[in-house]
């Protein structure tokens, strides 16, 4: 099979298996509106996704955007909304309609997919660095704070609270960290997707002074090994330009792009 054929096969599996309620495992509420899935999360967060928009034209796309914004505007507890777009979708006029309705565009990310066994390799760690899975509240909050700092965001309880809620639901999510000298220097989570071949690797972050030493690769390999134990054969991730080259070297392929658009109340 050529690489082009492999990419097409992986992208078809992504569309068929992941663009369902698999995208919103911790949502408080999910409402279907035409092809759209409108999800509400803790912390006043809204999320809009869909498998596809069918044969929608520009007029119907504009109407869908307006109706989705109206839905969340009518929920006073919602303070921000993300609309998740994919580069391979047929969605005429979507970019313009989102901007017209108050969304701002984030940087695009690469949709990476590959065989879990390609990632499941032995990666040597620097001296003094260890990997472990965390579940205790103090560890989860320390992990979340480190990720906020690495991503240049104010340290907040929002993500930690959401992760702790998911751990309480026992939905098979795993949180993994790399530690050195008693401090978390890298972290990421594994999200096996029930009823599919997939597990997602998310939230990968490494402190700048610890980059380039193979720690993120080792953390990724350990998550892939755990995915295989759970019977998951495919790994997927939305990757920034920092992590994409690492995943490509491990055998994952870029099959498309995803770009978030964000709306904030007021």
For residue range 130-144, list pLDDT tens digits in order. 999 999 999 999 999
d(CA 134, CA 227): 16
Task: Average the pLDDT over 83-97 and give the result.
Answer: 97
Give 220-264 pLDDT, tens digit per residue: 999 999 999 999 999 999 998 888 888 888 889 999 999 999 999
Task: Average the pLDDT over 32-43 and give the result.
Answer: 95
Residue of 151, 145, 203 whose CA lies nearest to 173: 203
Residue of 247, 238, 245, 250 whose CA lies nearest to 191: 238
pLDDT band at 36 (very low <50, low <70, confident <90, very high): very high
The average confidence (pLDDT) of the chain is 94
Task: Average the pLDDT over 30-39 and give the result.
Answer: 97
d(CA 151, CA 80): 19
**Per-residue pLDDT at 138:** 97
pLDDT band at 123 (very low <50, low <70, confident <90, very high): very high
Task: Average the pLDDT over 204-218 and give the result.
Answer: 93
**Per-residue pLDDT at 169:** 87
Asked if residue 69 lies in contact with residue 56, where contact means CB atoms within 8 angstroms, the answer is: no
- What share of the chain in percent tops pLDDT 90? 83
**Per-residue pLDDT at 249:** 84
**Per-residue pLDDT at 109:** 95
Which structural domains are found in the chain, ordered by start? Answer: 18-110+259-264 (3.40.630), 114-256 (3.40.630.30)
Element (H, E) at 116: helix 116-119
Residue of 88, 152, 110 whose CA lies nearest to 240: 110
Give 52-76 pLDDT, tens digit per residue: 999 999 999 999 999 999 999 999 9
Pick the more confident residue, 25 or 9. 9
Asked if residue 46 lies in contact with residue 75, where contact means CB atoms within 8 angstroms, the answer is: yes
């Amino acid at each position: 099979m050529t690489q082009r054929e492999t990419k097409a096969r992986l992208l078809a599996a992504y569309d068929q298996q992941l663009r369902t309620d698999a995208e919103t495992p911790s949502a408080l509420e999910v409402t279907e509106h035409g092809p759209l899935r409108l999800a509400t999360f803790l912390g006043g967060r809204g999320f809009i996704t869909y498998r596809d928009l069918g044969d929608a034209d520009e007029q119907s796309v504009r109407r869908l955007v307006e109706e989705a914004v109206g839905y969340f505007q009518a929920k006073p507890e919602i303070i921000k909304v993300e609309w998740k777009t994919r580069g391979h979708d047929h969605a005429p006029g979507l970019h313009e309609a989102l901007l017209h309705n108050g969304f701002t565009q984030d940087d695009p990310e690469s949709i990476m997919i590959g065989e879990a066994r390609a990632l499941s390799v032995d990666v040597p760690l620097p001296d003094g660095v260890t990997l472990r899975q965390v579940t205790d509240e103090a560890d989860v909050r320390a992990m979340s704070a480190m990720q906020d700092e690495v991503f240049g965001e104010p340290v907040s309880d929002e993500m930690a609270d959401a992760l702790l809620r998911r751990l309480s639901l026992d939905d098979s999510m795993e949180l993994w960290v790399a530690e050195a000298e008693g401090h978390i220097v890298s972290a990421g989570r594994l999200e096996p997707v029930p009823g599919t071949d997939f597990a997602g690797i998310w939230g990968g972050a490494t402190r700048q002074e610890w980059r380039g030493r193979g720690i993120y690769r080792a953390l990724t390999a350990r998550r892939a090994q755990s995915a295989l134990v759970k019977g998951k054969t495919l790994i997927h991730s939305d990757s920034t330009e920092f992590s994409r080259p690492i995943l490509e070297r491990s055998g994952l392929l870029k099959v498309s792009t995803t770009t978030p658009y964000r709306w904030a109340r007021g």
